[in-house]
Structure 1
Amino acid sequence: MLTGQVAFEQRFGENHFDHFARDPELAELFDRSMAAGSRMFDPLPAHPVLIAAAEGGTVVDIAGGNGELLRRILSAHPRLHGILLERPHTIETARRFLGAAGHTARCTFRAGDFAEVPAGGDVYHLSRVLHVWDDDRCREILRHCARAMPDTADLLVVERVLPADGSASLATAWDLHMMCDVGGRERRADHYARLFADAGLTLVDRAPLPLDGSVLHARKIGPTNTGSRSSS
């Protein structure tokens, strides 16, 4: 029967994240499944904004799961510092994971939600986060990021971007999956650009990643950052 409601919530009576938060085994399985797609992250440590911040800067990983992306970035840049913001039940998993990689001394762990994005970082990233939410929630998340970001900070958003020409892409299949699972969606680059603008950010650039992924680079709108350019 078609209800227009999120299938997961209809089946389990609560949203995906609350359900997993109450079941450590399911939460760990979810984190491992997310890490299984980590080949998408392979080129990210070489992104120009991370290279620019490499000499002692701070990268803030917002809702970074078990810390897989942050581990790769800290391993590639030994002078970088990291802050991981996640829900309390995930923080301990990330602490063990990053500790096993030898990064505990360079990483701060913050238990909290999107309203508690740490201020003062040099690079912020949201990896496969925005596609979980509807547009209103995305704007709210991005506004929290923009408030925390210094004027010179960069935001990297990793997502599968829907092709503007309707060509075949993994993003199309994920669009259906996210709609059924959490009520989210995949989006085109121009759609993300509008969400960024609504939050006081501007889309600076977009680069391809493996597995039909993309990294969207955004900055705060200001006197020297008023333009926007992206590929579709």
Structure 2
Amino acid sequence: MALKCIAIDDEPLALRLMSDYVARFPELQMVNTFEDAITGAEFLKNNPIDLLFVDISMPDITGIDLVRSLQVKPMVIFTTAHKNFAYEGFELEALDYILKPIDIKRFTKAVEKAIDYHKYQNKTSAIAETDESLYVYSEYRMVKIDLGTIEYIESMEDYIKIHITNDKTILTLMPMKKVLEKLPSARFQRIHRSYIVPVNKIRSIQNRKVQLTDVELPVSESYNDFARNWAKHK
């Protein structure tokens, strides 16, 4: 079934362009378009929508305020001619943030992200255990991470740093407990209040230290049971 979309923008030309772009994707269905945020917000209160394209700078209320007011939020892709609203988009967990004028290549990238994320959200818990991706918000947009590239995850107070292959890192605002819930429990284990590791990348555990491919991490007293069980099965 196609994702139901609406677009809200005070520029008629922008709405026509958005409708034209959406029509190129069989996975999307443009249900309606609105030239003012208030009418669009009323429609959203009474109609279930999967994906919202919304301009940020509008004369009545901003797209930011509109999304913030929604009790049930669809996936959101902000469109704007201004860069200075990026942090607010991050706060509201927008899927993407596209600068105008919008070209089809950039639009396609945002839409593919929405389609992938919708599939991810609607998987059963059994399927989720075998899923190969993790989605997090980073740099003001949704980022898809291949589970196989995760070397370890590190807590940094309110943020977590995801260390991935080739010495790259992704920083996201999320508690460790929440990211652990998103990961398949058979493949990732918490070994310390500050660290989560992929089980298949553990090389050894000795003296309350976990040796991964390129780093050694501590095992806290609370997680000694995992260390003992891992050793028994090796």
TM-score (normalised: structure 1):
0.29
- Per chain length, whose mean CA-contact separation is higher, i.e. which structure has more relative contact order (CA < 8 Å, sep 6+)? 1
Larger Rg: 2
Please state which structure has a larger fraction of its residues in strand: 2
Please state which structure has a larger fraction of its residues in helix: 1
